[in-house]
Amino acid sequence: MSAIRKQEINRSLKWFNRALDLVSAHANRWQTAFIAGTLNEDHSTQLDLLHSRTPTLRKLDVKLYRSTPGFHFLPAASMLQSMVVDGDLQPFQAPTGAENLRLTRLEIGTFSDYHLICGLIKRCAATLQLLSLSVYGREEVAPTGGLQLSLPALRKLKIHSHIPEDAIRMASPSLEELVVCPSALLGTRSLIDRLVTSQNIVSLNIFSDDGPRFTIRELHRVVGLKKLRELVFSAHGYTVQKPQPEVFIELATRIPPIWPELEEVIFQSSCYFNARLGEAVVGFVRSRNSWQIDKKEKPVGLRSVTILCDGCSAIQAQIDELLVGAST
């Protein structure tokens, strides 16, 4: 490296450290913080910044791609409610005697092993209401026999990736909303089975992850949600959600009916609609709201079906007419 280049780097680091000093001086007034980068011995100022007292901090978003072994990030933030952690989880493992966090929202995106994941979740298990898991790779470190989590206040769970069989065992008696991608429905069998049998979930969001589509095979993994009232199809970013017509044909004709208390279906703008899917959805609405298959197993009629996709106004109008006709 040339001497000129070294001077440029040193000058940049000098200004960077000055900026961090200015930011750190006001840490006691932070309400939201976003920190990203690589933390090691050469970034001691950043480590000091993470140890600042933040008594008013409510939301923290941290993306750490590599950290110093043994470094623990324990924010002095008694009001912290929401935390997003992407990357290295090692700094968030609490040493003996550390206080638990009182988070209500925790989102984890990581390549870390499941011991680290559960260690972080357990730090806020008593108060956690929303948990999002995106765990990629490292299946070889998935524990045999599973790691037990008790989440008594959890109301919403997002599973955006496949989790190895029995890696995590979760007790969540208050869970009401499940957001899950199709690959997780097939790959996370034991966890999904326990969630389905809890009988408390009233909302299911099928989230597209550019992986397998939601077909009849995935549908049969969640037919046990007897109290389900809301079904949503969505996707992230530029990913396209492609609901399969066969799913709605199955919903229209299965005896006893799947999800007998279902009242609302929502197709977000990320969904792809073609004529065949539109025909299947219309047939599903007609069947549910004028059930003639088996009077003894009559489901609750649909109250609302919303299609937010472009070019679907004609299908929406046809469905609205069916819904109005069923309510009169």
Six-digit token pair at 38?
A: 């690589």
CA distances to 28, 144, 207, 219 from 149, rounded to whole Å, are 33, 15, 24, 26
pLDDT at 316: 95
Whether the CB-CB separation of 259 and 293 falls below 8 Å is answered with no
d(CA 120, CA 100) in angstroms, rounded, equals 9
pLDDT at 216: 92
What pLDDT digit, counting tens, does each position of 277-307 carry? 999 999 999 999 887 666 667 888 899 999 9
d(CA 160, CA 142) in angstroms, rounded, equals 17
What pLDDT digit, counting tens, does each position of 221-233 carry? 899 999 999 999 9
Q: What is the DSSP letter of 271?
A: B
Interior/surface letters 255-279, b for 16+ CB within 10 angstroms, e for the rest: eebbbeebbebbbbebbebeeebbe
- What sign for the dihedral angle of Cα 304, 309, 313, 315? negative
pLDDT at 219: 92
d(CA 213, CA 285) in angstroms, rounded, equals 22
Q: What is the pTM of this model?
A: 0.84
d(CA 228, CA 299) in angstroms, rounded, equals 12
Other CB atoms within 10 A of residue 173 CB: 11
**Burial category of 324 from C-beta neighbours within 10 Å (exposed 0-12, middle 13-18, buried 19 and up):** exposed
Six-digit token pair at 161?
A: 């990736």
pLDDT at 18: 72
Six-digit token pair at 118?
A: 């559960």
User: In one letter, which amino acid is 51?
Assistant: H
User: In one letter, which amino acid is 149?
Assistant: L
SS3 call for 107: strand
Whether the CB-CB separation of 226 and 195 falls below 8 Å is answered with no
User: In one letter, which amino acid is 293?
Assistant: I
CA 319 to chain centre: 30
- Phi first, then psi: give them for residue 290, nearest 5 degrees: -140, 55
pLDDT at 171: 86
Six-digit token pair at 49?
A: 């910044």
Six-digit token pair at 249?
A: 């044909």
Q: Which distant-in-sequence residues (6+ apart) come within 8 Å of 275 by Cβ?
A: none
pLDDT of the chain, 328 residues: tens digit per residue: 577 766 666 676 676 667 666 767 777 888 888 877 665 555 544 555 566 677 888 998 888 776 656 555 655 677 889 989 887 777 676 655 556 788 999 999 887 677 788 888 888 899 999 999 987 755 545 555 567 889 999 999 998 877 776 677 888 889 999 999 888 887 676 778 888 877 789 999 999 876 678 899 999 989 999 999 999 999 877 778 888 999 999 999 888 899 999 999 999 988 888 999 999 999 999 999 887 666 667 888 899 999 998 889 999 999 999 997 656 5
